[in-house]
Chains A and B, each alone.
Chain A
């Protein structure tokens, strides 16, 4: 289980290779990378800055991962979230989940992303031609997270 909050870029291939190194019991690794886009709410984004709540962030991510591990039989989980200033095209977040079978790996990976979007204390501020703006929380993210409490 690896949880990291960092300024630096991450390497998806290296993280997934680290998960499977020396193991022969993993049948499935589902992973997700979220990237900074050049467009949001219909206007161009030149850059963004990610702020977080040091201390709480790591706790909140660990709690999400624990919750995922209690719902599915997982073999390993990695979550990495970047903070600081990022440009369009830069990777922001990585979630990788290893399991015996694909169903649980996919479900847990999507669950962690959905909860991260509503539970982990990160905030994005975008730089646009009209100046800076804080990204507003999206109702669709609340809806995505709520799916997991109905089932």
Chain B
């Protein structure tokens, strides 16, 4: 006897950002591999166009959600709500900026071709799935889609042995942590009977509040390992400095932006949407991990000499900040707190910042992508004053200086923490940001205050190509504009609490 097969209904419109990316990516792969090399900038222009298309669709969906309200898609596999669209938009912005930075980089390094861009687009699909997922399996597949693309991207600079090394490290550790994640999924599945968020949530609906399940709890722990790894939270951060340093710089930007956004969105979704029943169990973990992450990121950055590595540690420290938002979200049942909006806002602002920062580092890296040491930045203010200004803005924003988006971001999470009376972590975070300010200052010292030596003058001149210039300039303007007038973004971010099904 054959059970009646019910084909799920699919709201294609709601999937449109995903579909645009998929279509664009496939076209790029097919056409790109069939034709000879495209003209200069064509690949990146195409990628940007696709991403912009997806972005437009996402914005349309955003408004649609505002009007029609959130819902689930495809047998509850995905949730279609403001949260997922906010994440989608963030990831798409990351794609656009990264593609612009990548353009000249690839030609400079003699690696031009459609593959990298195709991988960006495909990875973005993984990211989008992660932010939209409403099922642990879908989430796992999203993670893998993103991760596998990132492994390849990290290793894609064939001439730099560091790139290969970072690829292999990322790959082994990534798979390792994915296995933990997956085991967590299995245990949760065992404890709740499903991998779907709605069902996981419902599984303990009728059970008394104090009734927990060790299996599920351990599963949650394993799940968190995978997510912590993804967002580079200590002590699961060890891959980050090595991979950030080794990967081609634009890829690092992608890793730090899209990768982090997707990871955190997934973490928020899992913890806040699927596992609020156990929030008293996972919140202390987030607390302690956030503290360790903040400290590790800030302290280890102090002794670095490679700017990419410094920024890697700084991204760890930023992860700590976002974890504060997650922690705050764990104080209330459901999504009503300030935690989710502040984290998502932080992610959006950080995405633009980090893309801009690595954009500058890409240019300073010069041919070979190796001149990313502090000394390489000497004389930047003399050679390319505007680039130096942009770098300054980005770094100050990362340090959380007012009138930049970075301050708004930090303010948001600190506010969320204070709102849930987590003053201790707020203070710790601010103090760690003092330590990490030192690292930004060190870069600024190289940029502005140390005169270049004769040897530095002999080094290859820094070029600022159009596409990178556009990306960096746009990121800088965004950073400042949001810093001065953040109202609209804050309002938008506060909508992310309207989750599907709640």
Partners in one complex: no
